[in-house]
Amino acid sequence: MKTSSIILIALGAFLLIIGFWGCNGYNGLVGADQGVKKVWSNVETNYQRRTDLYNSVIKTIEGSANFEKSTLKEVMEARAKATQIQVDVNDPASLEAYQKAQANLQGSFSRLMAVAENYPNLKTTDAFRDFQAQIEGTENRINVARQDYNKAIEDYNLRVKKFPGVILARLFGYNDKPFYKADEGTDKAPQIDFNIK
């Protein structure tokens, strides 16, 4: 009788330890998943700040007489596409689509800024000068937010892939998440031509 009591106590202790480990592990996965969502929200917030700044400068440029409307229209279309994409941090395809739309918006806006340089009246407006100062800070914020997102993804993915956490992760459907990647072609140094005539 004493042996069976010891076995029951040992079995009970073992189940208690497994239960504690399971609850702790599951709560850690939930916390890491929520952390990723929070950090991604910060990325989106900074992109929204950039879009809001773009909207302000577009209105300033629209008010400028004789401005090249085709370039402005291209930016407005890219802005509309970039703001329509919904991202699921668990879906690499939606993250890639979001990145492409943001890169397209940034590229079309860069072309708009190049065209705007040819309009001296526009460059002297307070709104345009304020925009130029704010956009640099916003781009830095976006870069930091993307780095924070990738750090949160790294922490989450390690929790999901390392043993023994991988057991709970698979059991409860937690899979690794995609990192925010650099735009295609940014791994090559840009060619700069100083052939000024």
Taking alpha carbons only, the member of 97, 2, 17, 107 closest to residue 54 is 107
The yes-or-no verdict on residue 192 having pLDDT over 70 is: no
Q: How many CB atoms lie within 10 A of CB 125?
A: 16
Mean residue pLDDT of the chain comes to 79
Instruction: Report all structural domains of the chain as residue ranges with CATH numbers, in order of start.
Output: 23-172 (1.20.1440.20)
CA 188 to chain CA mean position, Å:
22
What are 102's two structure tokens? 């943001």
Over its C-alpha atoms, the chain yields an Rg (Å, rounded) of: 25
Helices 92-116 and 69-84 meet at what angle, rounded to 10? 160
| pLDDT tens track for 141-185 | 988 999 999 999 999 999 999 888 888 889 899 998 988 887 666
> For position 153, what pLDDT does the model report?
92
| Averaged pLDDT for residues 33-37 | 91
| Averaged pLDDT for residues 105-134 | 71
| Averaged pLDDT for residues 90-116 | 80
> Are the CB atoms for 44 and 142 separated by under 8 Å?
no
The yes-or-no verdict on residue 124 having pLDDT over 60 is: no
| Averaged pLDDT for residues 90-104 | 83
196 band by pLDDT with thresholds 50, 70 and 90: very low
CA separation for the pair 123, 141 (Å, rounded)? 24
CA separation for the pair 112, 119 (Å, rounded)? 11
Q: Which helix (H) or strand (E) holds 92?
A: helix 92-116
> For position 64, what pLDDT does the model report?
62
